[in-house]
Amino acid sequence: MKPLTFFFHVSLLFLVGSIGLVAAELPRVALFTTGGTIQSRGEHRMKLMEYGAGRVTPDELLEDLPEIHRIAQVEVIEISNVGSPQITTDHLLRLSKELNATLERDDVTGAVVTHGTGTLEETAYFLHLTVRSEKPVVVVGAMRPFSAISRDGPYNLYSAIRIAADPDAKGRGTMVVLNETIHSARFVTKGNTYRVETFVAREMGPLGYVDSDRIVFYRNLLCRHSSESEFDVSNLTSLPQVDIVYGYQEASAASILGLIKDGAKGIIFADSSPAFRAALHRAQAEGIVVVQGDRKGAGRVLQSERSAGRGFVTADNLNPQKARMLLRLALTQTQNPREIQRMFNEY
């Protein structure tokens, strides 16, 4: 071997070695995929609704985003590839258990979960309450499919992985990121059917923003969550049945009576109707815990003499679908309304 070639080989080795070193130093992010619009395809790029031309695999998501290798090493755990209406308790429990196990590993900095946007906030809040780690969990989705014109998915996914890899994201529980906005799972809700700015926290606003120059957190969460949570799903294979009843003018008691028959363990009522009163009383007599929620989408349900006198737990400012998640977890511990009210006041 000529000295020059030798030198070339040595430097090549050194170069490869240092690339390896750089890669090894990048934070490791676990990408859990469940599906959703972000993993959906339409027949053509103008297909922004009813897109049904197949699913995008986790590998395709990553191949589509080579820039990700500049900021993180990504490992994939596929949970499912379904839209958010198909997400079940089995998905939630499996996701939470796998997240708990993965985040316990020293080499993992944080996790990202892809999810359909329709029920994304429910899954995110469930993870916020049950993933008992200080490491960040970032739930991400898209409003436009993978195949669409001006699709939002790639930048949302890039942003989510960037946050999961950020040391400053630690201790904030589960977050949701779309449209460069970082929300806490505690407050976020889907507030628009099709726009890219759909995720909002109507009163408390976002925790921060993921901007080109840096990730900025303006708010620290004071509600109890994740590593401080008392909820442990490690031995659970199911969750108590809790359903939501929507209140409106002259709403009948039929759905409440049906739920009693169906064996529900908890009922959230989102606003009331005169017919609800006797039916809810009957539900309570059957041992069903009743939570007073609200359909307005902003503001707390106040703790009043009247509600307390009727034995209702009040939902604070949790929307009905999130109050349902907290009640399901609460019911794994207790049926005592006062104890459950404490949980609604703390989480």
* Residues annotated catalytic, as ranges: 37
Residue type, 93: L
At 347, list the tokens: 């989480």
Q: Phi then psi for 32, rounded to 5 degrees?
A: -95, 125
In the complex with other proteins, which residue's Cβ is closer, 199 or 312? 312
Question: How near is the Cβ of 314 to other proteins at its closest, in Å?
Answer: 7
In the complex with other proteins, which residue's Cβ is closer, 58 or 136? 136
The Cα 121–Cα 125 span in angstroms is 6
Question: How near is the Cβ of 206 to other proteins at its closest, in Å?
Answer: 7
Q: Are 39 and 148 in contact (CB under 8 A)?
A: no
Question: Interaction with other proteins in 256-315: which residues (CB under 8 A)?
Answer: 300, 302-314
Residue span binding other proteins (CB under 8 A) among the ranges 3-11, 16-24, 45-53, 184-192: 184-192
Would you count residue 223 as binding other proteins (CB under 8 A)?
A: yes
Query: 37 vs 120, 139, 342, CA distance in Å?
Result: 11, 13, 37
In the complex with other proteins, which residue's Cβ is closer, 101 or 216? 216
Question: Interaction with other proteins in 186-205: which residues (CB under 8 A)?
Answer: 186-187, 201-205
Residue 168 C-beta-side C-alpha neighbours within 13 Å? 14
Q: Are 154 and 143 in contact (CB under 8 A)?
A: no
Which of 146, 143, 113 minimizes the C-alpha distance to 128? 113
Give every CB contact of residue 137 below 8 A, 6+ residues apart in sequence: 99, 103, 110, 111, 112, 113, 127, 128, 131, 164, 173, 174, 175, 226
The owner of tokens 């799972």 is: 185
Question: Interaction with other proteins in 87-126: which residues (CB under 8 A)?
Answer: none
Burial status of residue 279 (CB atoms within 10 A of its CB: 0-12, 13-18, 19 or more): buried
In the complex with other proteins, which residue's Cβ is closer, 110 or 206? 206
Beta bridge partners of 263: none
Size of the site for other proteins (CB under 8 A): 44
Q: Are 343 and 325 in contact (CB under 8 A)?
A: no
Question: How near is the Cβ of 160 to other proteins at its closest, in Å?
Answer: 19
Burial status of residue 71 (CB atoms within 10 A of its CB: 0-12, 13-18, 19 or more): middle
Question: How near is the Cβ of 224 to other proteins at its closest, in Å?
Answer: 11
Would you count residue 318 as binding other proteins (CB under 8 A)?
A: no
Question: Interaction with other proteins in 24-53: which residues (CB under 8 A)?
Answer: none
Binding mask 142-181 for other proteins (x = CB under 8 A): ----------------------------------------
The Cα 329–Cα 325 span in angstroms is 6
In the complex with other proteins, which residue's Cβ is closer, 80 or 179? 179
Would you count residue 341 as binding other proteins (CB under 8 A)?
A: yes
Question: How near is the Cβ of 273 to other proteins at its closest, in Å?
Answer: 13
Which of 220, 234, 252, 334 is in the footprint of other proteins by CB under 8 A? 220
Which of 23, 216, 254, 278 is in the footprint of other proteins by CB under 8 A? 216
Question: How near is the Cβ of 346 to other proteins at its closest, in Å?
Answer: 11
Residue type, 100: N
Question: How near is the Cβ of 152 to other proteins at its closest, in Å?
Answer: 17
In the complex with other proteins, which residue's Cβ is closer, 35 or 293? 293
The Cα 85–Cα 119 span in angstroms is 7
Q: Which residues of the chain form contacts with other proteins (CB under 8 A)?
A: 184, 186-187, 201-209, 211-214, 216-223, 300, 302-314, 316-317, 336-338, 341
